[in-house]
Amino acid sequence: MRERTRLGATEHAPSSDFPSTGTARPLRHAWWRLMDIRIGIVPLPVHMVLALALIATAISGKLSAELSPIIALLAVCSFTCMEIGQRIPVFRSIGGPVILVTFLPSYLVFTHALPTSVVKPIVDFWKAGNFLYLFIPAIIVGSILSMDRKVLIDGFVRIFVPLGVGSLVAGVVGTAVGTMLGMDVFHTVFFVVIPVMSGGLGEGVIPLTLGYSEVLHQPAGELLAQALPAVMLGNVSAIVFSGVLNAIGKRYPSLTGNGQLMRSGNDGLPQAAKSTAPIDVTDIAAAGMIAVCLYFVGTLAQNTLGLPGPVLMLVLAVAAKAFFVFSPRLEQGSGVVYKFFATAVTYPLLFAIGVVITPWQKIIASFNVPTLVTIVATVATLMATAFVIGRRMNMYPIDAAIVVGTHSGMGGTGDVAILTSANRMRLMPFAQIATRIGGAITITLSLIVLAKIV
């Protein structure tokens, strides 16, 4: 099969299904070659038609928050930004596509370059659909069930070591850098270093600052405003460093598993029990329902028992994999679900995140030299320590560093952005451990220490 370079994918020479003569065949083949040029996943002619239709609809003020127009809008906007980011030298090697897809829309909203007729449907869809909580279960459950069993179990046990050591070393280094640059020790620790590793927004810095408010007897809103920039810039730093590590991995393949955390493993499933028959659409649909079911059970536990829903969902998926709950066909179907969401949904989701929950003014407000250097030093130390520890624990050091780097992200949305910049969405289950469990431990210990010193 002949292959050609194209925008965002690989062009395959079209096959002729119908015999023809004269000029019909060359014209048809030329049209098929044009159709095989992709903007992200969208064929170029389809992308152009969609873009023109969306512009016309937005100008008329009739762009709605219904599913079909929102899919079209997010796909056209996000994959256009992605293609631009992939074509900027150097920038593309440090997570440029992800940075552009996430932060350009934030800037465009801030400057009102994106009209209200475009922003409002995205905001309404995000608030009404909460689409992130379909994406994350599909990625987590799909990647866990399709993962090598022994590697999965070993990885879950071992990842806590580089995560814990990395967090301690990063805390010490970040505090030292901040104080050397003239910042107060208390502010450096509790409003820069700890928020970076608190686990994001909704389950991280917001409950952290609510705890601060109870201890310090200050308004929670004011405390959140002080801590929020550290979360934003910590996320950006992790995106950039993950992109750099991905580039290093391409140059030194021995350092990376390209989405595999442990260096070796065998899932222990007898070969005769492995499915050799091709899966069909019902297997894929069933796997999708498994992800929805596990998410629903996790949410129910969160509402009734107070347990973090995503963490319980993750534990249930690991247990199901470890104890052979689902058949090999369903596990293969889960792999297809994972690949679909990772390929087709990630960039549109990041664009929506940039529009809805990434305030440009908060990012800019944090750009003072001491804070910026402290955050970068904290994240760099966190990931460098994980690199060294992971290598000593028979992990691929680049993958271990990227997983632990999600500890400094913006929760689930940060995990998506960081892993996408490194092209390692398969590490999402381990990233959830670093983000959710690591963040919860960081918040708990921080509030205990704060209560004792105030």
Q: What is the pLDDT of residues 416-452, one digit of tens each?
A: 889 988 888 888 888 878 887 788 788 888 888 888 8
Q: Residue 251 pairs with which residues in a beta bridge?
A: none
Residues 6+ positions from 271 with CB-CB distance below 8 Å: none
Residues 6+ positions from 364 with CB-CB distance below 8 Å: none
Q: How far apart are CA 226 and CA 222, in angstroms?
A: 7
- Write down the number of H helices and E strands in the chain: 22, 4
Across 45-67, average pLDDT:
92
Q: What is the pLDDT of residues 88-107, one digit of tens each?
A: 887 887 777 888 888 899 89
Closest CA to 160 of 172, 148, 168, 149: 168
Q: How far apart are CA 202 and CA 197, in angstroms?
A: 13
Q: How far apart are CA 419 and CA 439, in angstroms?
A: 17
Q: How far apart are CA 82 and CA 393, in angstroms?
A: 35
Q: What single letter denotes the amino acid at residue 206?
A: I
Q: What single letter denotes the amino acid at residue 389?
A: I
Q: How far apart are CA 220 and CA 226, in angstroms?
A: 10
In the structure, what pLDDT confidence band is assigned to residue 304 with cuts at 50, 70 and 90?
A: confident
Q: Which of 36-40, 206-210, 292-296, 350-354 has the lowest mean pLDDT?
A: 206-210
The answer to whether residues 189 and 433 touch, using CB atoms and an 8 Å cutoff, is no
Q: How far apart are CA 412 and CA 451, in angstroms?
A: 29
3-state DSSP assignment of residue 22? coil
Q: What is the DSSP track for 310-358?
A: HHHHHHHHHHHHHTT-S-HHHHHHHHHHHHHIIIIIHHHHHHHHHHHS-
The answer to whether residues 188 and 175 touch, using CB atoms and an 8 Å cutoff, is yes
Task: Write out the two tokens for 432.
Answer: 């959830």
Q: What is the DSSP track for 256-319?
A: --SS--BS-------GGGS--SPP-HHHHHHHHHHHHHHHHHHHHHHHHH---HHHHHHHHHHH
CA Rg, the chain, in Å? 23
Other C-beta atoms lying within 10 Å of the C-beta of residue 31:
12
- On the CB side of 79, how many CA atoms lie within 13 Å of its CA? 25
Other C-beta atoms lying within 10 Å of the C-beta of residue 10:
11
In the structure, what pLDDT confidence band is assigned to residue 357 with cuts at 50, 70 and 90?
A: confident
Q: How far apart are CA 79 and CA 87, in angstroms?
A: 13
Q: Is it the case that residue 23 has pLDDT exceeding 70? A: no
- What pLDDT does 368 receive? 82
Question: What are the C-alpha distances in Å from 121 to residues 21, 108, 126, 145?
Answer: 49, 15, 8, 35
Q: What is the pLDDT of residues 107-157, one digit of tens each?
A: 999 999 999 999 999 999 988 877 877 888 888 888 888 877 877 787 778
- What pLDDT does 185 receive? 93
Across 306-328, average pLDDT:
82
Task: Write out the two tokens for 354.
Answer: 């940039």
> 237 or 157: whose pLDDT is higher?
237
The pair phi, psi for residue 23, each rounded to 5°, is -90, -5
